[in-house]
Structure 1
Amino acid sequence: MAICPLCNALEKVSIGCPTCNNPLQDGGKVADYSDPYGHYNDEDTVKLFDGYPNTAKDEVCPHLLVCKECDFEKVLFIQEQ
């Protein structure tokens, strides 16, 4: 079973905002925003309903990156290990 290095604090994101160049903050998994009880489900079940058709097959974890200065948002697909 693959794990997300961001969810498990093995890595950090260091990407600058394309709008204002401030660092983007990891807002967590996109699925956490759509289902408040989703974290109680196993990861395979969450990936079936996260809104992205290939997350399970491609073993990626979609994370929401947010700029605290200008409110820019971006979804980044993190390769699981």
Structure 2
Amino acid sequence: MGICPICNGFEQYATQCQNCGSKMENKGREAEYYDDYSPYMPIDEMKLEDGYPNNFQNGECPHLFVCPNCGQDQVMMIKE
């Protein structure tokens, strides 16, 4: 089990929107948006169910980034 540097506030990650070029905003772990109880489930358990088959083995944390300008969203895999 790794530690996500973004979830733990060690680092910030910046990426540009592929649609309009604006700076995208980090909206947190993608798994937190699955259902009402997903933010309360253990992170490693959610990684096994989140639809990304290699993120658990590769030590990656999927984060949702959204463009405040055009609404484009993108999931970025952050190395733990």
Q: Count residues in correspondence.
A: 80
Q: Mapping of 1:1-81 within 5 angstroms? A: 1-80=1-80
Identity of aligned residues (%): 41
Letter in 1 for 2:65: L
Kindly state the Cα deviation for residue 28 of structure 1 after the two structures are TM-superposed: 0.8
Kindly state the Cα deviation for residue 51 of structure 1 after the two structures are TM-superposed: 1.2
Kindly state the Cα deviation for residue 31 of structure 1 after the two structures are TM-superposed: 0.5
- Matched residues in 2 for 1:36 and 1:5: separation? 25
Q: What are the superposed Cα offsets for residues 5-61 of structure 1, whole Å, 9 maximum, x if unpaired? A: 111111111111122111000011110011321222222111111111111101100
TM-score (norm 2): 0.90
RMSD: 1.1
- Matched residues in 2 for 1:42 and 1:18: separation? 32
